């Protein structure tokens, strides 16, 4: 309560990490729980200066008997965001979805490269930079224990992207049960089948390529999309496209193995905490081949 007014704050937050299906979950839950119109409010890490009244206003239109929440994939490794959530919503329910480390990091790299954000030209360079600067390296177990210590283990739900991929309805049911929402039938949901945007291509890392892709995006947003789509069907377009746009190749097994080896201590600790068999997240020499499905879909977007 502030200034005599009762604040409507979220009862749950999916804190990430990035590239674990939070956009899909937001789309599926829209209309069934109280969600901000903008998928990521970034309140607890970027927009905190706007004040708690502003944040509360994002949930004010929903009935009090409907659980309210948000998707905050940038909160996962942010200690300040975690403490701010605890301060304002001490009984908040926290959801975390874990994805095989190499696949998730490669997916994040592709997303950054396909956008306007600067990134290393190669995934190997990007991953090396993350190591050197102490960036986002899937320290899953360490962060999970911090969320559990802050909010209590019963209020932290750990899920896995593999389950979302294999059985989306069951994954969604787990979320709904945890947050206290009515079950949502996926066959009636408007969202598509993709769990994350795959970011299939990016501009070549040169100034002309970047300017060209940005110009096409600008024109598309201002009504030229039908003409651009028509042009994409021609041989001339394909020839020109090769000069400015590169399609991402599948994640190499060598790069994937390097990341899996690097993150092995975190993977084994997460395995212990969650009682989940994560053999497929480990270097090939350490995997169990009981079911013949040792390979990981590291090419996923």
Contacts of 164 (CB under 8 A, 6+ apart): 21, 24, 97, 171, 195
pLDDT band at 198 (very low <50, low <70, confident <90, very high): very low
Confidence (pLDDT) at 233? 56
CATH 3.50.50.60 fits 12-99+137-188, yes or no: no
**Gyration radius of the chain's alpha carbons:** 21
Cα torsion 110, 111, 113, 119: sign: negative
- For residue 199, is pLDDT > 60? no
Q: Where do the domains of the chain lie? A: 12-99+137-188, 201-247
pTM comes to 0.76
Tens-digit pLDDT profile for residues 32-55:
999 998 889 999 999 999 999 999
Confidence (pLDDT) at 223? 64
d(CA 246, CA 205) in angstroms, rounded, equals 9
Mean pLDDT across 265-276:
96
Tens-digit pLDDT profile for residues 177-189:
999 999 999 887 6
User: Lowest-pLDDT range, 19-23, 36-40, 59-63, 73-77?
Assistant: 59-63
């Amino acid at each position: 309560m502030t200034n005599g007014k009762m604040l409507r704050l979220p009862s749950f937050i999916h804190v990430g990490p990035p590239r674990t299906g939070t956009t899909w979950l937001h789309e599926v839950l829209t209309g069934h729980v109280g969600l901000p119109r903008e998928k990521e409010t970034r309140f607890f890490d970027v927009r905190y200066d706007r004040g708690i009244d502003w944040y509360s206003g994002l949930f004010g239109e929903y009935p009090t008997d409907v659980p309210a929440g948000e998707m905050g994939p940038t909160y996962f490794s942010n200690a300040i965001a975690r403490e701010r959530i605890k301060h304002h919503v001490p009984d908040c329910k926290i959801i975390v979805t874990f994805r095989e480390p190499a696949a998730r990091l490669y997916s994040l790299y592709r997303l950054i490269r396909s956008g306007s954000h600067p990134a290393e030209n190669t995934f190997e360079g990007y991953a090396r930079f993350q190591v050197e600067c102490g960036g986002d390296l899937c320290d899953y177990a360490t962060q999970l224990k911090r969320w559990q210590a802050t909010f209590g283990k019963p209020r932290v739900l750990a899920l896995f992207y593999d389950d979302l991929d294999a059985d989306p309805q069951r994954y969604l049911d787990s979320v709904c049960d945890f947050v206290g929402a009515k079950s949502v039938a996926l066959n009636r949901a408007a969202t598509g089948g993709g769990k994350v945007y795959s970011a299939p291509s990016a501009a070549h890392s040169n100034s002309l390529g970047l300017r060209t892709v940005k110009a096409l995006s600008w024109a598309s947003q201002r009504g030229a999309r039908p003409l651009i789509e028509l042009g994409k069907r021609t041989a001339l377009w394909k020839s020109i496209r090769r000069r400015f746009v590169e399609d991402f190749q599948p994640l190499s097994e060598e790069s994937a193995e390097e990341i899996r080896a690097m993150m092995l201590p975190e993977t084994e600790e997460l395995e212990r905490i969650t009682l989940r068999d994560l053999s497929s997240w480990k270097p090939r020499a350490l995997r169990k081949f009981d079911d013949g499905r040792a390979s990981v879909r590291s090419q996923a977007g």
